[in-house]
Structure 1
Amino acid sequence: MMLLVNTLIVLATVAGMEAFAWYAHKYIMHGWGWGWHRSHHEPRRGWFEKNDLYAVVFAGIAILLIALGTAGGYPLQWIGAGMTLYGALYFLAHDGLVHQRWPFRYVPRKGYLKRLYQAHRMHHAVTGREGCVSFGFLVAPSISTLKRQLREKHGGPVKKATTLDAARDR
């Protein structure tokens, strides 16, 4: 029974992290935390960008929760494990699939991965921090919804998500 409870805690944490990540991306990273996140919306120079400090902070929190949980603070270790799983999924989908920051060159042609890929590319269709759409990392609205939102915010046609300027993809 505890295995089921712990698994549910991990999965609920992954879902909660997506909700938190959406909020943090929209209101912190594109708000008062723009100083770190700006590097993600500019062409990358080198292997790392200042925005990667967010991953370091969240990894530190997950490590702390796992340590506290294994020292007797149940269920903190499972919350930390859920944060870690979310971080791994983020790394695969965002840094790997969308931004191709590691030697993994795959552009999805259909289904969920294509929608996720296009939605994040549309997030980068806007220069700067204002007027962006699609702030989630693992959940993405439909492309037609995002195109409509961009048109409403900027008035005018939107580039196809698959042909966005590669320099803004960094």
Structure 2
Amino acid sequence: MPIWAAILLFVATVLFMEGFAYVMHRWVMHGPGWFLHKSHHRARVGNWELNDLYAVIFAVPSIILLLGGVQLGWWPGATWIGAGVAAYGAIYFGFHDVIVHKRVGHRYMPRSAYMKRIIQAHRLHHAVETKHGTVSFGFLWAPRPEALKAELHRRGNRGVRAARGADAKAKDREVA
């Protein structure tokens, strides 16, 4: 396989994976796979959550494609597709687990408009604690936060987490 074709296949796979991740997140994780994903919309206790099993599930095709392409004599493109899936997983881990959820300590502060938009969109996704009513399912591309806020408002803010301290303030008003 010519190197230009391999690189093109690799890049196309990484781009395809954003669409695949969107579909899986919206219709599987917030659908029949909610039993695993709901742990990600709750406060984490410890280092792991059930949602982490999705990383293992999504790594399996990459491992199989890399093994088949490198060791088992499959079509050479299998290697590049497997590498593209693995690259998307690494990018996703860096953005999602490290930068947004800070599962690995760091001092990075987003300065670019792109990074601020991605982080805010993901936080708006997590503002909803329920299976339904969430916004922004992609990760490397996200709608403008203003559009996401408007969509949450249009839906009547169903499932949106109460602001921190809101329960305490409400109880204070009841007592007074």
Fold match, TM over 0.5? yes
1:52-87 CA-partner distances (Å, limit 9, x unpaired): 100001112100011111222221111100000000
Partner of 1:28: 28
The answer to whether the Cα contact below 8 Å between 1:107 and 1:114 also exists between their aligned partners in 2 is no
Q: Could you say what the CA RMSD is over the residues aligned between the two structures, in angstroms?
A: 1.9
Partner of 1:43: 43
Partner of 1:123: 125
Q: 1:118 to 1:81 in 2, by over 3 A?
A: same
Partner of 2:54: 54
1:1-44 CA-partner distances (Å, limit 9, x unpaired): 81111111111001111000000000000000001101100100
The runs of at least 4 aligned residues of structure 1 exceeding 3 Å deviation read none
- Residue type at the aligned position of 1:2: P
Q: Which has the higher contact order (CA 8 A, sep 6+)?
A: 1
TM-score (norm 1): 0.88
Partner of 1:94: 96
Provide the identity percentage: 48
The alpha-carbon deviation at position 155 of structure 1 amounts to 5.2
Kindly tell me the number of residue pairs found equivalent between the two proteins: 160
Q: Which runs of 5+ in 1 are unaligned?
A: 166-170
TM-score (norm 2): 0.85
Structure 1 counterpart of 2:114, from 109, 112, 115: 112
**Alpha-carbon distance in structure 2 between the residues aligned to 1:155 and 1:16:** 31
**Alpha-carbon distance in structure 1 between the residues aligned to 2:10 and 2:103:** 27
1:81-137 CA-partner distances (Å, limit 9, x unpaired): 000000000000000111000012434244110000000000011121110000001
Larger radius of gyration: 2
